[in-house]
Structure 1
């Protein structure tokens, strides 16, 4: 890490480009445990964040920008204003958010009409569609069109915007969304990139990360720490958010390498 910091700071090493991606924190209200988030543990063979607990998400597919898919809710222009992105990128990000969530959990934020949502995504035909999206033999727009579905962008809310530090060899420019799991749907352990899934209270997940029980990237921990302040899904969805770019920086202080969080990010780990 120190060598990379020195290389980037001196200009000897050029930071890797950050790929646009989307992450969705799927939420539910549990009768006993209260507000919970759906999380996956990445398999340890993954090149990026092996063994880390994450939310569903992934990189934008170039075809996510297809303009002819049925769309309900805030327009790409409105999403662009929220995330400081042009209309094309905003469309790609929202589509990637919905697509990746379906690919990794079978939760689908789409419905037969602009006011309805699919109530069950279990079964062989849905799994075949999921596999076709995974192997890119079917675009997300084609999937929705063939099934006669409307993307429900109104079921999403913008939450945060994080960029991987410049010293990392693999970098992502990620917009974070939050959404309630639609009534009747079930999040399932279907992702080949994960070996474990769980519904967990944000405060509990954050505490496990702070104790070293769960591996977690700073953006995930920061998001959980923020969500721990809310009691219900409705509270989260109604919370006003000002989206700013959050990019940790790497510094060498007294000969030691440190990753420094943006000033606006709450303290993630206790000091001392």
Structure 2
């Protein structure tokens, strides 16, 4: 195994994604009773063009703004805004160079990230996850509901896309706050070196809803959407009907551990209490593909001097796989054929996907 040194990383940009799981009638016994919202990005987008993704985007200075304090008051305020006790910050495998907000942050990182996720769901999909001011935080409540979109949805989305500060104005007009309490920390991913200059430090939140809200793609950044169960998303990816980036595919497979929305919601409550690990995949190029190594894998190197390198070997992917035993990795055989190999044990309230090997018959 050798390493090809990369230049020093460009700054990771803080980002937030929202894994939206909504109740759905079972199609057969044993099938999942929920679906995931996947948005198709426009082909013109610089990052992941044409991919199906969870709603999300980069944190804006407006998401940290002190102006939110007046909207949350007097019922919720700093330091925790009713989110419960703070947990230790999840360490990154290496110290990331993160772009700070453009102005002094009045809100803690996890509150600002939740506001960002709610704002992006509105901008991209027209979904409003708001709660009337004065409503209880409801930390142990069951799956909730989205708020009906305003009649002038298109106009407000245009305003918010042009200036993220306008989202607070919309919330004030509706006498609501972003429903930050319905979002549970689920995972966090750092963009690996191979992807290119655009690097993100993205937290994924999970939100469970009793029923799917109406979705209206903005037609600019998002051109289409689908509600899919984890097995449906896997099959659609394998049949090349949709394309998922490795982190999204990993999360879809992780969610395939659940067939019940209520069980998923309950697990997310317990999982969030443990905090979230931040994963920086290490790219390992083989003679015929590439592997993304994740923490816990026997080839994952925790020395920060290696984390900005692309490892390589002259061996084939199958040869590398036959030599190992302790796996936590995503094997990328082709654009539409991934394998997830997990032999490490889950710890605390974490849950890994089961080992999954995509069909390689068409390679």
Q: Which runs of 5+ in 2 are unaligned?
A: 28-32, 92-104, 137-144, 298-327, 329-351
What displacement does 1:268 show?
A: 5.2
Which position in structure 2 is the counterpart of 1:166?
Answer: 193
Label 1:268 to 1:56 Cα distance change in 2 as closer, same or farther (>3 A): farther
Moved more, 85-94 or 231-240: 85-94
Alignment of 1:79-228 (within 5 A): 81=87, 84=90, 88-115=108-135, 119-124=147-152, 126-136=153-163, 138-168=165-195, 169-181=197-209, 185-228=213-256
1:24 partnered with 2:2: no
Moved more, 223-232 or 75-84: 75-84
Deviations 1:7-64, CA, capped at 9 Å, x for gaps: xx425x2222211111101111112442101111111111111111101110101110
3-state SS of paired residue (2:193): coil
Moved more, 104-113 or 260-269: 260-269
CA contact (8 A) 1:15 1:167 kept: no
3-state SS of paired residue (2:163): coil
What displacement does 1:77 show?
A: 7.2
Q: Structure 2 CA distance, aligned partners of 1:211 and 1:52?
A: 14
Normalising by structure 1, we get a TM-score of 0.83
CA contact (8 A) 1:76 1:88 kept: no
Counterpart selection for 1:246 from 266, 270, 279: 279
Q: Structure 2 CA distance, aligned partners of 1:164 and 1:230?
A: 27
3-state SS of paired residue (1:134): helix
Q: Structure 2 CA distance, aligned partners of 1:151 and 1:82?
A: 24
Moved more, 72-81 or 219-228: 72-81
Q: Structure 2 CA distance, aligned partners of 1:77 and 1:236?
A: 19
Normalising by structure 2, we get a TM-score of 0.64
CA contact (8 A) 2:60 2:164 kept: no
What displacement does 1:259 show?
A: 3.4
Moved more, 215-224 or 242-251: 242-251
Deviations 1:94-146, CA, capped at 9 Å, x for gaps: 1101100111112111122343876310422x332221111116433333223
Q: State the Cα RMSD in Å.
A: 3.0
Structure number with greater CO (CA < 8 Å, separation at least 6) is 1
Label 1:228 to 1:216 Cα distance change in 2 as closer, same or farther (>3 A): same
CA contact (8 A) 1:133 1:140 kept: yes
Kindly tell me the number of residue pairs found equivalent between the two proteins.
263
Instruction: Name the structure with the higher helix share.
Output: 1
1:53 partnered with 2:52: yes
